[in-house]
Amino acid sequence: MHTSIFKTILSVSAISLFSGKAYADASYNLKSHSLTAPYITDGLYNRWWDFGGSTVVEVNKFIRLTSNQNSQQGWLWSRAPLTAQNWEVEFEFRVGEINGKDHLFGDGFAFFYTVDRATLGPVFGSKDNFNGLGVFFDTYPNSRHKYSFPRVMPMIGDGKTPYDSDHDGEANNMMLGCSADFRDKRYPTKAVVRYKKGEYVEVLLKIRNDETWHPCFTVQNVTLPNIGYIGFTSHTGDAYDIHDIISVETKGFIIPSKKAKKNHGPPEGKGHHGIHDQYNNQEETGRGFLFWLIAISAVLGIGYVVYNKKFKNDSRKDTTKLF
């Protein structure tokens, strides 16, 4: 009987512990949508990715969408659709050549999650009227703006609305976005695109010489197509530049119920004011761990009291029977 009670206490404690771990770490890697060097095999082939147009692959260095030449279009697309309902894509990129020749640079590159793939077009090297998400890393202003360039901006495409190229997407992105100096850096520059179905798309940047992620923008109330492809595209015109993709890491993640995640949503979308303070959920994770630690301690304490009480009662009964 004593052993049974003690096993029950341990079982409840274990369930609590694993529940806390699942809450704190609910992501899973998607190898089919990730990419690191070497990018291709001996047969100039990658199982999960296609590339084309002006794209050049340096096996252990980078995937160069465009070089320092006029009128180029390059692309890199996943072969398989991404079916996770909630996901994030972290990628390292490089724009511009360090100590390169001074010239009028442009136009930028784009990240896409769309139902169509690998079709050249005028939107940073990809097709117009796309259905899905585009995040544009724009280095060349086509008109005057109150904000500075380079700039990172979103567009939620419905398959019918064209990109407002003449005004750098002002008609498409609800004035969201952030000015971000990501060009010609001597250290790695990175971005994270994170999507929670029906709730938000957000972009965070790591473009300073530190390990801090800075929020760029958040678009609320977003529902993207259930199935889409991941792509990176770029183009040059009279202005030109180097646009490299160094690595891609994609994860799906499981969202806790609304009750469990009531106060864990993304920051409000204020990206048009520029890059903000650090976005970090370590404090929330720490609180979750502390909660489960307290809960486990309470369960063990109650179990210990019950066990001792039961043991004493049984001892008294046994003693009475002896006399």
Report pLDDT for 289: 45
> What is the pTM assigned to this prediction?
0.73
Report pLDDT for 275: 39
* Whole-angstrom distance, CA of residue 240 vs CA of residue 65: 12
β-strand pairing of 87-95 with 200-206: unpaired
Report pLDDT for 282: 39
DSSP state of 139: -
Q: Which two structure tokens, joined as six digits, stand for 293?
A: 């630690």
> Quick one: which of 127, 160, 147, 286 has its CA closest to 217?
147
Report pLDDT for 173: 77
Report pLDDT for 146: 79
What are the residues whose beta carbons fall under 8 Å from the beta carbon of 58, sequence distance 6 or more? Answer: 64
Q: Is the dihedral of CA 165, 168, 174, 176 positive or negative?
A: positive
Decide: 21 and 27 in contact? Cβ < 8 Å: no
Q: Is the dihedral of CA 121, 117, 36, 29 positive or negative?
A: positive
Report pLDDT for 129: 96
Q: For the chain of 323 residues, list the mean pLDDT of each consecutive stretch of 10.
A: 43 37 65 94 85 93 93 96 96 82 78 96 95 93 77 94 85 83 92 96 94 94 96 91 96 71 45 37 43 58 56 45 32
What are the residues whose beta carbons fall under 8 Å from the beta carbon of 40, sequence distance 6 or more? Answer: 46, 57, 59
β-strand pairing of 120-121 with 125-126: antiparallel
DSSP H or E run through 82: none
Report pLDDT for 217: 95
